[in-house]
Amino acid sequence: MPSRRKQKRFSTEYTMLSILEYLYVNAQNIPVTKYKILTNSPEIRQQRPDRVNNIMGILEQNGYIKSIKTSSTVTFYQITGHGIQAYSKWIKDYLDFARTSANRREERDDKSRSSDY
């Protein structure tokens, strides 16, 4: 029996962030289809379509994204001002964390080097 390659799945939170990031970078001024989001983001592409639908529904219910129906079959998505604020805050917090961690490591390395002399 052929072995099925298990596809890597990310957490709901990570997928939400990936969707917001894609929309932040690509859909602040021009709405995009879900197909475009799914096919252009490797992190999102690995998720089951029903899971992405649920996550996008949660993002929309909480005001982070908005959907724009152009016909009965085509829906476009765009990040909202609230979504931009949330994504920007997350990026700032993450960069603060990364910088603090890097500074602590440098301080440890400096102490280690100074104790060698």
Distance (Å, rounded) from C-alpha 100 to C-alpha 41? 29
Biggest CA pair distance of the chain: 73
For 90-117, what is the mean pLDDT? 75
Distance (Å, rounded) from C-alpha 33 to C-alpha 99? 35
Give the rounded percent of residues in the chain with a pLDDT score beyond 90. 44
For 100-105, what is the mean pLDDT? 77
For residue 2, pLDDT over 60 is answered with no
> What is the tens place of the pLDDT at every residue in 16-68?
999 999 999 998 899 999 989 988 888 788 888 888 899 999 999 999 999 99
Q: What is the pTM of this model?
A: 0.74
Give the chain's domains with CATH numbers: 12-115 (1.10.10.10)
pLDDT of the residue at 115? 60
Instruction: Please classify residue 32 by burial: count the beta carbons closer than 10 Å to its beta carbon, then call 0-12 exposed, 13-18 middle and 19+ buried.
Output: middle
| Residue whose structure tokens are 């129906």 | 69
Neighbouring CB atoms inside 10 A of 88's CB total 11
